[in-house]
A and B are shown apart, each in its own frame.
Chain A
Amino acid sequence: PALGLFLFTIARDPLRIIILIAGAFFWLVSLLLSSLVWFIAVKASDPRDEPLQKGLLIFGVMFSVLLQEAFRFLYYKLLRKAIEGLVALSEDGCSPISIQQMAYVAGVGFGLMSGAFSMINLLADALGPGTVGIHGDSQLYFLTSAFMTMVLIFLHTFWGILFFHGCEHQCWWEIMAVIVMHLAVSGSTFCNPLYVGSLVPSYLLMAAAAAWAYLLSGGSAQNLQRFLLCKS
């Protein structure tokens, strides 16, 4: 689905592609820094201490989430400057791309990158022979991974919209809400392999975020109805 989103909405406009790739780049950098921190922490600690390792991992995850949000903020700042530049250069005085579109594309960029990083090794291994969950792990590993990745990509997209909207209108609580949601989703994955604990809340949160983003983007229940019933 994320790929479909990409193809239909982003691939047409070159500017969006650039913003997408730049978004992916920012996510990558944030991942790099957070893994650097985690790596240092692991090296500095005792590798045999299991709970400590687990704790460090959790710490790493949380830190990574916070760093991702920080980079989203930085990206927002960069895009603001870019939009001013584009407006100055365009012929008719208005930017060829609005901040909401940028928010959407940035969110997709983040999401795609995080999804790719989560899934691609899995997919590569899935091509080879093997049995899922042979050592007593869940047999649904691949399936749940796929669903989790998809929900995460969508969430990133919606968070992008919400986040940028919050920054635009100085609604700090929106930004805080995004951060809290992100932390919650990552935290819920700690329940894995008890999948009901992680997938269900994530999807609920995604639905909530989707509705919120939709409302923020100017939609309403009425619009939705008209769209679905194919009225003009």
Chain B
Amino acid sequence: MITFMNNSDSEEETCNERTSLMSAESPPVPSYQDGLQASEAGEVQVHRKRRTGSSRSPNDTADGEMSDSGVPVRESTLENEEEELTLKYGAKHVIMLFVPVTLCMIVVVATIKSVRFYTEKNGQLIYTPFSEDTPSVGQRLLNSVLNTIIMISVIVVMTVFLVLLYKYRCYKFIHGWLILSSLMLLFLFTYIYLGEVLKTYNVAMDYPTLFLVIWNFGAVGMICIHWKGPLQLQQAYLIMISALMALVFIKYLPEWSAWVILGAISIYDLMAVLCPKGPLRMLVETAQERNEPIFPALIYSSAMMWTVGMAKPDTAARGPSQQTWDAAEDGRENHRSPSHTDSQMPEMRSPVPTRPTTSLEELEEEERGVKLGLGDFIFYSVLVGKAAATASGDWNTTLACFVAILIGLCLTLLLLAVFKKALPALPISITFGLVFYFSTDNLVRPFMDTLASHQLYI
């Protein structure tokens, strides 16, 4: 149990790190195409690592690319076009983010509602040592606040550690960390999850079959995430990982602590991304300054090389496949998953697709993309899952939280389009979600119940 708990701990950390939406642009980068690509890739990597944000850098990069061609006038027109394109494709990007978030939430809610394991209280994480089984309300509140403080400080420490590692170019360390954490996540948690699901549905499975299934699942997952693989498969894996992590959180965080932690995380996210000295912001800026293609290459070297291979080499086929490619780029960028191992926060990032250095159009298509950190996924799912688990068995609350989170995401993306820089994705959505959860649970539910019992309709 202890190891398990430790694992979970690290997960938390990861989650904390990065939930910001970032605009992947490297604003003042007058680099060549390659350089831009590299910096873009670097930025994507960074973002990924940090499990943050979404970026609209592609547009900007495209802009930069144009400027590389050496026509400053074109740049301004391009900027306008870019902006138009940003907003024009804005809806598409929003939807591309909606779908994975929705899927993750659906998986979590379905599991919570059906598998009893995740709603039982079987102990707590080592990071939340204070129990909530106290008789008085004040004591309980105090305990949850203390838990939150501990958790947040752990997260802050981890984030700073990661930033330092990145700054001092300890890439191998980070890489190894990430691999380790994703290994643990893919194998151990899946094993537990599968075991619980099978128990719930009373399906017998022998150990060899189980071993085979989990081995295949884990191996393919490792390859997909750290190397190259079909985009949709990678997305699916990232969603599953986020869901697993969220489930762990839901199980092992005591109730009040969970809500307080969610609130505190949003505030932390806000500060970490927007304050000039915030670790996340420093990370982004460092990555931007360096403009290094090396970093992603070092960290996810295999991934990068492979993704080059994955890029559509055939320019002729580019035309019809441009849309899918765009989607692929976006999707890829979306899934930055931070997975943590025990003591660190490894982040699993989806391999950043390197742009093939072909035509500008392709770059343009690729540029457009929105990236959302996996931590965001995880915390959204935690919110909805907790709503499903603890709201007095009410689907209305779950549905309300779901809509609230989606709207928060929309608003955040709108702000991203307006501000064009890294933004935290958590605060708005989580605030909406929390508000709606508490109000729906306490206010709307009695109203709807009374209406339903008299069969009145409003």
B84 x A91 contact (CB < 8 A): yes
A39 x B84 contact (CB < 8 A): no
Report chain A residues within 8 Å CB of B452. 118, 121-122
Q: Does A162 contact B (CB under 8 A)?
A: no
Stretch in B87-95, B193-201, B329-337 touching the partner: B87-95
Stretch in A10-18, A168-176, A211-219, A220-228 touching the partner: A10-18
Compute how far the CA of A64 lies from the CA of B97 in the bound complex, rounded to whole angstroms.
Answer: 33
Within 8 A of A (CB), among B72-128: 83-84, 87-88, 91-92, 94-95, 98
Q: Does B291 contact A (CB under 8 A)?
A: no
A18 x B403 contact (CB < 8 A): no
Report chain A residues within 8 Å CB of B439. 32, 36
Question: Which of B87, B94, B400, B450 interacts with A18 by CB under 8 Å?
Answer: B94
Task: Tell me how far the C-beta of B114 lies from the nearest C-beta in chain A, rounded to whole angstroms.
Answer: 11
B394 x A28 contact (CB < 8 A): no
Q: Does A148 contact B (CB under 8 A)?
A: yes
Query: Residues 324-352 of chain B: 1 if any A CB is under 8 Å from the residue's CB, otherwise 0?
Result: 00000000000000000000000000000
- Known: A24-B403, A32-B444. Is A18-B91 also a contact (CB below 8 A)? yes
Compute how far the CA of A124 lies from the CA of B109 in the bound complex, rounded to whole angstroms.
Answer: 14
Compute how far the CA of A80 lies from the CA of B443 in the bound complex, rounded to whole angstroms.
Answer: 31
Stretch in A1-9, A71-79, A100-108, A184-192 touching the partner: A184-192
Within 8 A of B (CB), among A23-47: 24-25, 28, 31-32, 34-36, 38-39, 42
Within 8 A of A (CB), among B392-421: 393-396, 399-400, 403-404, 406-407, 410
- Known: A18-B94, A24-B403, A28-B436. Is A117-B396 also a contact (CB below 8 A)? yes
Measured CB to CB, the nearest residue on chain A to B456 is: A189
- Known: A18-B95, A113-B403. Is A141-B396 also a contact (CB below 8 A)? no
Compute how far the CA of A181 lies from the CA of B458 in the bound complex, rounded to whole angstroms.
Answer: 12
- Known: A120-B396, A121-B395, A192-B454. Is A90-B84 also a contact (CB below 8 A)? yes
B443 x A25 contact (CB < 8 A): no
Q: Does B455 contact A (CB under 8 A)?
A: yes
A141 x B458 contact (CB < 8 A): no
Within 8 A of B (CB), among A45-94: 57, 60-61, 64-65, 68, 86, 89-91
Question: Which of A28, A39, A121, A190 interacts with B400 by CB under 8 Å?
Answer: A28
Report chain B residues within 8 Å CB of A149. 457
Report chain B residues within 8 Å CB of A14. 91-92, 94-95
Count chain B residues whose beta carbon lies closer than 8 angstroms to a beta carbon of A: 37
Report chain A residues within 8 Å CB of B440. 32
Compute how far the CA of A87 lies from the CA of B442 in the bound complex, rounded to whole angstroms.
Answer: 42
> What interface size band does chain A fall in?
35 or more
Task: Tell me how far the C-beta of B37 lies from the nearest C-beta in chain A, rounded to whole angstroms.
Answer: 27
B91 x A185 contact (CB < 8 A): no
Query: Residues 145-189 of chain A: 1 if any B CB is under 8 Å from the residue's CB, otherwise 0?
Result: 100110010000000000000000000000000000000011001
Q: Does B27 contact A (CB under 8 A)?
A: no
Task: Tell me how far the C-beta of A90 lies from the nearest C-beta in chain B, rounded to whole angstroms.
Answer: 7
Report chain B residues within 8 Å CB of A186. 456-458
A117 x B84 contact (CB < 8 A): no
B395 x A145 contact (CB < 8 A): no
Task: Tell me how far the C-beta of A37 lies from the nearest C-beta in chain B, rounded to whole angstroms.
Answer: 9
Q: Does A201 contact B (CB under 8 A)?
A: no
Q: Does B207 contact A (CB under 8 A)?
A: no
Among B88, B407, B455: residue with most chain A CB under 10 A: B455
Q: Does B446 contact A (CB under 8 A)?
A: yes
Q: Does A22 contact B (CB under 8 A)?
A: yes
A61 x B410 contact (CB < 8 A): no
Q: Does A207 contact B (CB under 8 A)?
A: no
Task: Tell me how far the C-beta of B211 lies from the nearest C-beta in chain A, rounded to whole angstroms.
Answer: 34
Question: Which of A21, A38, A144, A152 interacts with B447 by CB under 8 Å?
Answer: A38
Measured CB to CB, the nearest residue on chain B to A53 is: B450
Report chain A residues within 8 Å CB of B403. 21, 24-25, 28, 113
Q: Does B240 contact A (CB under 8 A)?
A: no
Question: Which of B406, B410, B448 interacts with A117 by CB under 8 Å?
Answer: B448
Task: Tell me how far the C-beta of A14 lies from the nearest C-beta in chain B, rounded to whole angstroms.
Answer: 4
Task: Tell me how far the C-beta of A215 lies from the nearest C-beta in chain B, rounded to whole angstroms.
Answer: 26
Measured CB to CB, the nearest residue on chain B to A56 is: B450
B407 x A22 contact (CB < 8 A): yes
Question: Which of A35, A116, A118 interacts with B443 by CB under 8 Å?
Answer: A35
Q: Does B165 contact A (CB under 8 A)?
A: no
| 11 pairs of residues in contact across A and B, judged by CB atoms under 8 Å | A15-B91, A17-B98, A18-B95, A32-B443, A34-B458, A57-B450, A68-B458, A86-B87, A118-B452, A186-B457, A192-B456
Residues of A within 8 A of B (CB): 13-15, 17-18, 21-22, 24-25, 28, 31-32, 34-36, 38-39, 42, 57, 60-61, 64-65, 68, 86, 89-91, 96, 113-114, 116-118, 120-122, 124, 141, 144-145, 148-149, 152, 185-186, 189-190, 192-193
Residues of B within 8 A of A (CB): 83-84, 87-88, 91-92, 94-95, 98, 393-396, 399-400, 403-404, 406-407, 410, 436, 439-440, 442-444, 446-448, 450-452, 454-458
Known: A120-B399, A122-B452. 8 other contacts (CB 8 A): A18-B410, A36-B443, A60-B447, A89-B83, A89-B84, A113-B403, A116-B399, A118-B452
